Chains A and B, each alone.
Chain A
Amino acid sequence: MDFILHVPVIGLLLQFIGYLLSVMATNGSLIITLSTPIALGALCGFMNERSGVVNIGIEGMMLFAAFVGWYVAALVNGGAPSNPGPMGITLPLLVGLLAAIAAGVAVSALHAWLSISVRANQIISGTIINIEALAITGYLNLLISQNPIPSAGNFQSFVVPHAAASVPILGWLLTTFLAHGPITLTMLVLVIVLQVLLFRSRWGLRTRAVGEHPRAAETLGIDVIRLRYRNVLLGGVLAGLGGAWFTLEYIGTFQGGMTGGRGYIALAALIFGRWTPIGAFGAALVFGIADTLGQAVSFNPPTGDLGAVLSGVPEQVFSALPYLVTIIVLAGVVGRSIPPAADGQPYEREAKAT
């Protein structure tokens, strides 16, 4: 069988698949970690778009929340190290997390007001948020860096007890799904909870109805405007969590533009996942795998022919993997994945003269 691996193109392809599988098997935990901001961003988009508001400002919301969370945590910390609880939880980090969520909600409130009340173009509203978040956080970060204050650190991953982690399959599952910080764990719970609520709860039914046919919902006594506001603001909570992941969980510091397009990839995940939480999470995993693969190539490069070929490829190509995957996925899926019918259409309450 081995000779097959040496056939020119096919051999390389097989080696690549083998390498991919080994990366996926040995880096399950990292994949989920790297999927987290994409999944949370997609859940934010889900909350918005299922009720009929397009949100392309997720990137900016997360970036803004990442900055606010980090800075508030550092301020509360004040340079005095606190005693970390389990998973590295400290009071400054918790306050920072709340501040990040508040920041996400605040930016969402702007988007809600522009999209729902003012009935502005929702794409433009989202674009403004993205541009402003990049500019404002970059500027403030520059100001702060002239008088740097020590960061409050970051949340640590839950440590699966060694006894459990060494059980063959169960151990792998436990490490993959549980060896995470509090934000990632929250994301995993939210995916399941939101999926159930969407199809089984009153809120889910009304949200689906309002995103598809708001007039019909209103004729049954549902307050379309209020429901949209509520969902967009709750989406802000999720974007806030996603932003906090960058500065309070993954790395304990802020860098300008550090969301690096994850908010846009989240939009692609939402579409790829057909506007359901589970689907969006699955799609986020695909991007997480691409991200992980890009990193694995440098810290654990493949051997043999594949390694020889890949070593000639510039490093930037691997960093670009998630974005390349986004393009490929969107090219294959867009048009076949159907958005909520009223997505992006402002709702006007008063019936007009006929």
Chain B
Amino acid sequence: MSQAASSPAASKPAALEMRGVTKRFPGVVANDHIDLDVRRGEIHALLGENGAGKTTLMNILYGLVTPDEGEILLGGKTVTIASPADAISQGISMVHQHFMLVPVLTVAENILLGEEPMANAVIMDRKAAHTRIRELGRFFGTEIDPDLRVASLSVGWQQRVEILKALYRNADILVLDEPTAVLTPQETKEIFTVLRRLTAEGTSIIFISHKLYEVLEIADRITVIRRGKVVGSRIPSETDEDDLAELMVGREVQLTVDRGESHPAAVTLSVSGLTVSDDRGHEVVHGLDFEVKAGEVFGIAGVAGNGQDELVEALAGLRRPASGTVQLAGRSITGASPRRLHNLRVGFVPADRHRYGLVLVFPLTDNSVLTSYYRAPYSRGLVRDADAILRHAEQVINDFDVRTPSPLVHASTLSGGNQQKLIVGREFFGDLRLLVLDQPTRGLDVGSIEFIHRQVIAKRDAGTAVLLISAELDEVLELSDRIGVMYRGRLVAVMDGRSATREEVGLLMATGGREGPPPIIAEGAA
């Protein structure tokens, strides 16, 4: 299928050429003489690890970053793109990795912003705008009410609004930076259909991703970037996931962890009737019941915002449950403080490593004992034992492959992957009863993900009960012995982790197991 799509595109003229594009940031060459050509009507995938330079390259194309060297040609002519306004006027639109939507504005207002149709010199023509937006809705097969507030939309629909913004501007070249990162497989499929419809009408698409199977499915051509350089180009029909992964990382990568059979023993974590409210007092977790046994990984999949954050906070002692009980090996830990949980040998890896996981302006030594600094051997009476803390930090750094020049540098100087390995090293330390992992590999490169996943399985095999909460479906599928799907604050299904398929879990994530299309409005909104 991919080849059939690529053959006609191959004969088409180049819509965009980037030649010798170079951008240096202090201490790093983000883009090193990158050449890229995108033909009219093709989907060109840009593949690379986090930090490889994909986003910088696209920010250059979009006028957000000024390149040090190199030129950009559109339709064969050299152009200067000094600002997003320039890019838009040249027919380039970009869907950014993080939504560039203003939550309190309506769908229409978000789409119009910057290109407002005017009724007169001052006042906008809302009617014309609404007609246009409904008309563009045909690309999705569903109409959207232009007056809905964006904050009330589900994540999938927010992504559609982002694409509508590009369509509204009549983009010839559409850049999509990790557009599927937050989507369910079904939503991804729908977006892919839309993208194919667009290319059929002559739009060129640059598709950035690190999900190999998606790139193989959607792209006509693939360019791989590593450490700021183009390291290869491929056509999907002539490559496979292993080949692409090796190109991306620069060494052979094991894409899936070798995990043996699990040997679940006694119930370690038992949650019953757990109800949790969010900051505004709305109940967002409704009477959850589940168990995690020693020696198994229980994964909770779900689209972000379905109550996972509040569930994790309730389990980690950061939020008092409204009702229900949580038991650890038969004794109640409902509403227990983080310190008590730590003393009961519960490890916790939070989703937001900067807010909860680390104190960025502390050295690695102090960060390595954030949960245990107060007790022996790290403290003696009122005094900290700097030597003991240093020895501990060195052990964590060594065991968990944290790449750092010294244990005394600030945590802020480490890359995201190494920061996360430091947290994992701290929380996985010693003999644990329970591990609560919230998005443990979000935003990390393949190498770090591979490493952390292996550590999780090692903990499981050592008899720890592991609760994994992740919006990254692939991660849940890969690590879990049992999978629960969370939808609107409820576990709508629990299934065997080895036999579950991506489609099956994805559908449950999107609809909660009900018939009909997924809802437009998100839970707890509007």
Contact = CB atoms under 8 A, between A and B. Distances in A.
Contact of A354 (B51, B100, B103, B124): B51
A263 B64 CA distance: 39
A314 interface: no
A220 B105 contact: no
B64 A351 contact: yes
Interface string A208-233: 11001101111111110000000000
Interface in A182-223: 197, 200-203, 205-206, 208-209, 212-213, 215-223
Interface in A105-157: none
B102 A221 contact: no
A202 B25 CA distance: 36
- B: interface residue count bin: 35 or more
B65 A209 contact: no
A223 B82 CA distance: 12
B118 A205 contact: no
Nearest to B99: A216
Interface string B40-79: 0000000000110001100100101100000000000000
Contacts of B115: 220
A197 to B, nearest CB: 7
Contacts of B88: 220-221
Interface in B82-98: 83-85, 87-89, 94, 96
A353 B25 contact: yes
Interface residues of A, number: 26
Interface string A252-266: 000000000000000
A209 B89 CA distance: 20
Interface string B189-218: 000000000000000000000000000000
A51 to B, nearest CB: 13
B122 A203 contact: yes
Given A197-B122, A212-B103, A354 B62 contact: no
Nearest to B51: A354
A226 B28 CA distance: 31
Contacts of A221: 83-85, 87-89, 114
Contact of B102 (A201, A216, A350, A352): A216
A212 B96 CA distance: 17
A215 B55 CA distance: 15
B160 interface: no
Contacts of B113: 205-206, 209, 216-217, 220, 222
A205 B108 CA distance: 11
B112 A205 contact: yes
B102 A354 contact: no
A205 to B, nearest CB: 6
A341 B84 CA distance: 22
Contacts of B51: 354
Contacts of B55: 354
B101 interface: yes
B104 interface: yes
Contact of B118 (A202, A212, A220): A202
Given A221-B83, A221-B84, A221-B88, A208 B104 contact: yes
A215 B122 contact: no
Nearest to B97: A354
A211 to B, nearest CB: 9
Given A205-B124, A350-B65, A216 B100 contact: yes
A202 to B, nearest CB: 5
Given A209-B102, A354-B56, A200 B28 contact: no
A219 B83 contact: no
B122 A219 contact: no
Contact of B124 (A202, A218, A220, A223): A202
B109 A351 contact: no
B105 A201 contact: no
B123 interface: yes
A219 B65 contact: no
Contact of B116 (A205, A217, A218, A223): A205
A184 B99 CA distance: 43
Contacts of A350: 65
A197 B64 CA distance: 30
Nearest to B65: A351
Interface in B136-192: 165
Interface string B108-133: 01101111101000111010000000
Given A202-B118, A205-B124, A351-B64, A219 B104 contact: no
A221 B165 CA distance: 13
A202 B122 contact: yes
A351 B55 CA distance: 10
B26 interface: yes
Nearest to A214: B102
Contacts of B56: 351, 353-354
A212 B114 contact: no
Closest 3 CB pairs of A and B: A221-B85, A220-B114, A353-B25
Given A212-B102, A216-B100, 12 more contacts: A205-B116, A209-B109, A212-B105, A216-B99, A219-B96, A221-B87, A222-B85, A222-B113, A341-B104, A353-B56, A354-B51, A354-B55
26 contacts: A201-B122, A202-B118, A202-B124, A205-B109, A205-B112, A205-B113, A209-B102, A209-B109, A209-B113, A212-B105, A213-B100, A213-B101, A216-B99, A217-B114, A219-B62, A219-B94, A220-B88, A221-B87, A221-B88, A221-B89, A351-B56, A351-B64, A353-B25, A353-B28, A353-B56, A354-B50
